[in-house]
Structures are given as structure tokens and as C-alpha cells.
A and B are shown apart, each in its own frame.
Chain A
Amino acid sequence: MEALIAIVIGVLTASGVYLSLRGRTFPVVLGLTLMSYAVNLFLFVMGRLMIGIPPVIQENATYADPLPQALVLTAIVISFGMTAFVVVLALRARAELGNDHVDGEENH
């Protein structure tokens, strides 16, 4: 399972990086989103993999490490805000620069 997770994270990161290196704003946004998925997953599994255990305190039970989950929640929310901002910024750039190239130049 560990290997599987690692590979998934790797693939997500790789695709994210590749897309964020594109020249148009939209794929870049997709790439950033993929990267944030990757890192959220990464952060999450830093609490190790716990399957089928209660999420809340009960009598005599083992628990997952809750801290990474909390961190991921924060991370998700923040990256949501950031994504929203960058999307709108992309629109703004489209209007101001007349095209959707990240450097505002068509000849790229």
C-alpha cells in the first residue's frame, strides 16, 4: 500500500509540475491544483495509513494521527483561496494583456 500511495503522489506531482510549466494560464492553474492535491495527500499520509478506525473518541479504540488531518484541512482551505485568486487573476491578465499566455506574449 505504501508504495502505491507513494507512486500516486509521485504521478500527481509530476503531472502538476508539467502542467505548471505550460505557457497558458489555464493549464498552469490545473497544474497548481494537481500539485495541491498531491501535497494534501502527502501531508495526510504523513500520519501513516490507518484503515477503518473511528474518527472520533470512543471507548477503547486506536486512532489515526489527527494532526496531519487538521493540517491538510487548513492546507485545502488555503489552496482553495489561492486557486480562486489565481483563476480570477488569469482572467484579469487575459483582459489586460489580450491573450492568455503567462508572459502576455503570443510568440511563445
Chain B
Amino acid sequence: MNHLVIAPLLLPLLAGIALLLLRGSATPMRQAVSLLATFTLVVIAFQLLLQVADGSVLVYRLGDWSAPFGIVLVADRLSAIMVLLTAVLSASVILYALRGADHDARFFHVLFQMQLFGINGAFLTGDLFNLFVFFEVLLIASYGLLLYGGGADRTRAGLHYVVLNLVGSTLFLFAVGTLYGVLGTLNMADITQRLAKISEEDLGVVRAAGLLLFAVFALKGALAPLHLWLPGAYGYTSAPVAAMFAIMTKVGAYAILRAHSLMFGPESGPVAGLLDPWLLPLALITVVAGTIGVMASKRLSQQAAYLVVVSAGTLLAAFGMGGAEAFAAGLYYLLHSTLAAAAVFLLADVISKARGNALDRLIPGPELPRGQLLAGVFLVIALAVSGMPPLSGFVGKWLILQASIGEPGMPWVFAILLVTSLLVIMTLARTGTMLFFKIEEGATAGSPVRVLDLGAPLALVLIGIGMVVYAGPVYEFGQAAAEQLLRSEAYISAVLQAATGGPQP
């Protein structure tokens, strides 16, 4: 049995427990543990990626019970890339957090590791109810992180986020329950198989359950109109947490993609294509709504939050179009937008520290120390998020547009994606000129920026640039992942025929 599959779960879990038990010890000690664990996670995730790169589907039978009876972890290309993305993101976020954002670090790192446990679990599990459990793990951890540091706005946003997600969890259970009640199984591969054989009269019930599930994932993935929670939650929490949350909407997107391509995908007979009529239109609406928010934002971090909404819509639009090309384009954009969004949040924090009382509000502020450097970094990141050449955002958007050619929705995709891009560019140009060019005489700047503060955002930018230079391999991996998703029969047989019993050497 290949324990590498479960390593991305156990490592953060054990690290979290260790940090919990080490609460008494010195802060640097705990920071070191967290840092070490996170960077080891990157290595492990990369190993996992290499192992699945050849298209093999690794199945890990927990408790040695085979699917569909026991819970299995399944690592295919998609899961592996998501885990790697999470690891890379968390590594850069933790680097930033160590520079003070983790406060006295008493709980931050515990919660941080536990959230990684939850996220990786959600990406790797092949069991629907287990997915629910991991959603809860990552949510409860995210509650703690979101509220970390306190403050009125943050608490209010946190309350909204928590309550809304509790409602979501209830809906999730209703959906899972119904599916089990009709199909009598919980393993996603098995569900797909049984859906294919569903009788005419049971069809309505499972369709209802399936779409209920979709609604839950849409809530996590911030698909309009279920994105309302995001601006507050992301806009008011601390920078590293917001940056880390950049992956959270992607968990929803991942779940949607998984459901879209597996349970309601080619192999599921009468329920195939269940999400088709919903995904693309709603995604495009999300893009528009997000853009309006971006244009109306009064703080940079707020703007960043709305940019996350836009990116969520964009990549779900790609997933909604369907087909290998669109999935691959969507995956490329997913990688880009996660890193870019995180970069914006971190940079916003640096800027607001530098601007003294003006914080990151979009008002004339003081002449910034090292303003040139900040402006430069802002420019690069702004280009990336707004999808301007030559950065990863452009490549991603271009791939999506190209994938949409010939699709029925093409005119809409073209019109909305391009026009919103322009609006975002105009807005960010306003933001940039406001933050760096418009000088309020007599305003006092905050603490001068240390170059190390820019380390994490710059690292993210560099990765983004790397994604442009190596766009070929990255995109090709995305294509391979997409084709694997569309050939779900291979996935299903791998999961259900994973040999049971006996110790493996």
C-alpha cells in the first residue's frame, strides 16, 4: 500500500496535534514546527504529483476496507495538482504570517495546519460523506482563522460566514442522505455506477439531491448568487488568512468539477450533464457581479476579495463549458488565480502598513517610503490578476476564450470576459494611481517597508511568471488531468477494483 497518498493528510494533522501539545513552548519553536511541516508538505505533494503524472489512479483503502464499504482516498492528476497548489500557497502564506501576522502564534499555526488537513482531505477523499467531514474540518479551522485577532468588522463577517456555512452543511447532509437512501452507497465512484442504472421513476429524486449537492458546492465555490458571504469574510480577515482562503473557493470549484465530471459525468447515464444548464450562466453572472464589486470597492483588500469572486466565476465558466480543452484552461486559470489572489491580499497588507493612517483605503495617502518598489510590485500583480499580457492571467484567460470558440455560449463568454477585463484594468489603474501617485500633503507614512515583507508576494509572483515560461508543460498536465476526468470509467474501476486485504510489502 502506497502511504504517500495519505501523507498530505497525516502530516498537517500530526503537525497540528504537535503544535497543540507544544502550546506551552516558545513561539519560535512552534513557528519552526509549522514552517517545517508546511515545506515538507510541498515536497510530499510534489512526489505525489510525480506518481500520478503517468495517469495512474492511486487508491488508498483506509482500515484496509475496500470501496465502496470502507473509505478510500483517491489520488488522480486533478487531486494531486490541487494538493500541490495548496502546499505551495500555504508555504508562501506561512512565510508571510511568520512576520508578525500570526500574533503570538498560540493558535494560528494549530488552526493553519488543521485547515491544511481539511483541505487536503477534501481534495483526496473518494467518499461523499467523508467529503462532508473534511468540509467541516476545513470550515471549523477557517472559522478560527478568520476570527483570529478579533475586531468588530471581522467578528460580524465571521458570524455571517459561520452561520451561512452551517446552513450549507445541513443542506449537504440532506443531499448525501437522499443519495444514500436511494442508491444505498456513499463512495463517489459507486454512486456514479448506480446512477447509471437508476430507474426512470427514481430519477427525479436523485436529480434533486444532485442539484442540492451542487448548491452546497456552489456556496463553497462562491458561485452567484451564493457568493454574497465572500466579500465580507475575505475582506475583513487578516491578510495571511485571506490569502490562504484563496484556495477555499477552489475547494468548492474542485468539488463542482468532480461532481460535474464524475457523478454527473459521462458514465452516469440518465443524470449525465445534470449541471450543464446551470454552471456556465451562473458563472458568467458571478463574473459580472464580482466586477461591479471590484469597481465599487473602497479598500484594496475589499477589491482583492471581489477579484476572488471574479476569478471564481471565470474558472467555473471554463468548467461549465465542458470538454477537455475547457477543463484544462480552467485548471490553468485556477492555479493562476489562486496564487495571484493570495499575492494581492498579502501586498494589500504591506501597503496598508506602509500608508499609516490611510491604511489600504483608496484615498490619497502619504508619500511612501520605497514607494517605487511597492508600485512596481503592485503593477505586476495588477497585470496578473486583470489578465493583461504577458502574465499568467492573460494566458489563462486566453486559453479559456480559445476553449469557448465554437461553444454555444461563445459570444457571451467573449463579451463578458473581455469587457469585465477592461473594467478591472481601468479600476486597478485608478487604484494604483490613487495609492501611489496621489499624494496627500502632510500625511504621515507608516513603518517603512522591509523588502522581506515583500518576500511572500514576490515569491507568488515569481511562481506566476514561472507558469508563463513553462505554460506548455503546465497546460499539458492540465489537459492530461482533464482527459483523465472525462475518462471516468478508468477512475471508477480503479476505485472499485482496488484489491483488498493482506499486508503489502
Whether A and B touch directly in their complex, counting CB atoms under 8 A apart, is answered as yes
Asked whether B166 lies within 8 Å of A97 as measured between CB atoms, the reply is no
- A47–B158 Cα distance when bound, in Å, is 36
Instruction: Tell me the minimal C-beta distance from B242 to chain A in angstroms.
Output: 19
Asked whether A39 lies within 8 Å of B159 as measured between CB atoms, the reply is no
Instruction: Tell me the minimal C-beta distance from B443 to chain A in angstroms.
Output: 29
Convert A79-105 into 0s and 1s, putting 1 for each residue whose CB lies closer than 8 angstroms to a CB of B: 101100110011011001100001110
Q: Which residue on B lies nearest to A42, using beta carbons?
A: B177
Instruction: Tell me the minimal C-beta distance from B487 to chain A in angstroms.
Output: 30
Q: Which residue on B lies nearest to A97, using beta carbons?
A: B152
Partner of B167, one of A32, A68, A78: A32
Q: Which of A20, A75, A79 has the most chain B CB atoms closer than 10 A to its own CB?
A: A75
- A28–B159 Cα distance when bound, in Å, is 11
Partner of B170, one of A39, A67, A74: A39
- A102–B140 Cα distance when bound, in Å, is 19
Place the interface of chain A in its size category. Answer: 20 to 34
Q: Which residues of A contact B136 (CB under 8 A)?
A: 78, 82
Q: Which residue on B lies nearest to A81, using beta carbons?
A: B140
Instruction: Tell me the minimal C-beta distance from B150 to chain A in angstroms.
Output: 7
Convert B147-182 into 0s and 1s, putting 1 for each residue whose CB lies closer than 8 angstroms to a CB of A: 100111001101110110011011001101110110
Q: Which residue on B lies nearest to A35, using beta carbons?
A: B170
Partner of B181, one of A36, A46, A85, A104: A46
Task: Give the B interface residue count (CB, 8 A).
Answer: 28
Cross-chain pairs A/B with CB under 8 angstroms, 24 sampled: A25-B159, A32-B166, A32-B167, A35-B167, A39-B170, A39-B173, A42-B173, A42-B177, A43-B176, A46-B178, A46-B180, A78-B136, A82-B140, A85-B140, A85-B143, A86-B162, A89-B147, A90-B159, A93-B159, A96-B150, A97-B156, A102-B163, A104-B152, A104-B156
Asked whether A36 lies within 8 Å of B151 as measured between CB atoms, the reply is no
Q: Which residue on A lies nearest to B185, using beta carbons?
A: A67
Q: Which residue on B lies nearest to A94, using beta carbons?
A: B155
- A79–B140 Cα distance when bound, in Å, is 11
Q: Which residue on B lies nearest to A92, using beta carbons?
A: B155
With A20-B163, A42-B177, A43-B173: A71-B129 Cβ-Cβ less than 8 Å: yes
Q: Which residue on B lies nearest to A33, using beta carbons?
A: B166
Q: Which residue on B lies nearest to A71, using beta carbons?
A: B129
Number of A-B contacts (CB under 8 A): 86
Q: Which residues of B contact A71 (CB under 8 A)?
A: 129, 176-177, 180
The 9 A-B pairs of least Cβ separation, nearest first, read: A46-B181, A96-B155, A43-B177, A39-B173, A46-B177, A96-B152, A35-B170, A104-B156, A39-B170
Q: Which residue on B lies nearest to A65, using beta carbons?
A: B184
Does chain A have a CB within 8 A of B133?
A: yes
User: Which residues of B from 176 to 230 have beta carbons under 8 Å from A?
Assistant: 176-178, 180-181, 186
Instruction: Tell me the minimal C-beta distance from A26 to chain B in angstroms.
Output: 12
Chain A contact residues, CB within 8 Å of chain B: 16, 20, 25, 28, 32, 35-36, 38-39, 42-43, 46, 67-68, 71, 74-75, 78-79, 81-82, 85-86, 89-90, 92-93, 96-97, 102-104
Asked whether B170 lies within 8 Å of A36 as measured between CB atoms, the reply is yes
Instruction: Tell me the minimal C-beta distance from A79 to chain B in angstroms.
Output: 8
- A71–B172 Cα distance when bound, in Å, is 13
Q: Which of B136, B166, B169, B178 has the most chain A CB atoms closer than 10 A to its own CB?
A: B166
Instruction: Tell me the minimal C-beta distance from B88 to chain A in angstroms.
Output: 30
Asked whether B162 lies within 8 Å of A85 as measured between CB atoms, the reply is yes
Asked whether B140 lies within 8 Å of A32 as measured between CB atoms, the reply is no
Asked whether B174 lies within 8 Å of A102 as measured between CB atoms, the reply is no
Further pairs besides A32-B166, A78-B169, A85-B162: 10, Cβ < 8 Å = A20-B163, A39-B177, A42-B177, A43-B173, A82-B169, A86-B162, A89-B162, A93-B156, A96-B151, A97-B152
Q: Which residues of A contact B143 (CB under 8 A)?
A: 85, 89
Instruction: Tell me the minimal C-beta distance from B162 to chain A in angstroms.
Output: 6
Q: Which residues of B contact A79 (CB under 8 A)?
A: 166, 169
With A35-B167, A82-B136, A96-B151: A89-B159 Cβ-Cβ less than 8 Å: yes
- A67–B185 Cα distance when bound, in Å, is 10
Q: Which residues of A contact B150 (CB under 8 A)?
A: 92, 96
Q: Which residue on A lies nearest to B160, using beta carbons?
A: A102
User: Which residues of B from 107 to 143 have beta carbons under 8 Å from A?
Assistant: 129, 133, 136, 140, 143
- A16–B176 Cα distance when bound, in Å, is 19
- A78–B152 Cα distance when bound, in Å, is 27
- A34–B147 Cα distance when bound, in Å, is 25
Q: Which residues of A contact B163 (CB under 8 A)?
A: 20, 28, 32, 86, 102
- A64–B140 Cα distance when bound, in Å, is 32
Q: Which residue on A lies nearest to B165, using beta carbons?
A: A82
